[in-house]
Structure 1
Amino acid sequence: MTTGALAFEVKLTTPYDRAIELVTAALKAEGFGVLTRIDVHTTLKEKIGEDFRPYTILGACNPTLAHRAVSHYAEAGLLLPCNVTVEADGKGSVVRIADPDVMLSVGGMDQDPALHSVATEARVRLSRVAEALSALPEAAC
């Protein structure tokens, strides 16, 4: 696992479709469900006729954390759900999980203690998702 400017990144040796299954299971283990699934490859082909590598955006949500955030500040909903991308990369896949702390700062809400607490808890859970994926036999070294 690596941590970039926007996200946690994990490279897997597994094919793209299997990577989506592994990511979904790891998210579920940390209390996140997948609310949305955007197939970027298919959408770009249908809408503008462009070929693009297999690439999916998963909208992951932990209901308890989301409830805390939007109950405190309704505009926090603009930062939800937590985005996770899975893309084909050669013979494997790359998974990127948006860092909630970064998203909160982009939204200018990082000075709010209640929202910062939610983002920190989400970050810990999503970091564990990335760590769990990194620990799989399918993780690339």
Structure 2
Amino acid sequence: MRYDRTVHLDTDFATAVARTRDALAAQGFGILTEIDVTATLKAKLGHEMEDYVILGACNPPLARRALETDRSIGLLLPCNVVVRREGDHTAVQALDPNTMVALTEIDALRPVAEEATRRLDAALASLVAAGTGS
């Protein structure tokens, strides 16, 4: 089972992060957290790795609908969006919202997952449409 929705961009990392933030905002997602995994692993472990950031994206109306259905669903909300360097490209990845339904088998979450999927796919497609990826 695939659990991600991914696009690859032919742009530098900083530009990809900025464009990802803008694309998510255009679809109603705010960025609540940002984890610079590269800097954290370097500071805490002395470990070198490629550029890697986790954006904690949230669409409050969708989150509320999901949480009203199942309070534990916060564990599976499609909130994390990863922007990471992958060779000569930058990958932008989001958790597939349908994972919530597949793992919980709660059909009442299906409309929320479908709307979240539509919004995340639109955000990812806008990144590709900007002429920077596939």
- Normalised by the length of structure 2, the TM-score is 0.91
Matched, 1:9 2:3: no
Unaligned runs of 5+ in 1: none
In 2: Cα distance, 1:55 partner to 1:22 partner: 15
Number of equivalent positions: 134
Match of 1:132 among 117, 126, 130: 126
In 1: Cα distance, 2:78 partner to 2:34 partner: 11
RMSD: 1.6
Unaligned runs of 5+ in 2: none
Equivalent in the alignment of 2:76: 79
In 1: Cα distance, 2:58 partner to 2:92 partner: 17
Identity of aligned residues (%): 42
Q: What SS does the aligned partner of 1:135 have?
A: helix
| Greater fraction of residues in helix | 2
Q: Deviations over 1:48-107 (max 9, x none)?
A: 1100111001111100000111122110111235211111233431111110102442xx
Matched, 1:117 2:129: no
Q: What SS does the aligned partner of 2:132 have?
A: coil
Match of 2:61 among 61, 64, 67: 64
Tell me if structure 2 keeps the 8 A contact 1:34–1:58.
Answer: yes
Q: Deviations over 1:109-128 (max 9, x none)?
A: 2x322212111111111111
- Normalised by the length of structure 1, the TM-score is 0.87
- AA of the residue aligned to 1:24: R
- AA of the residue aligned to 2:130: L
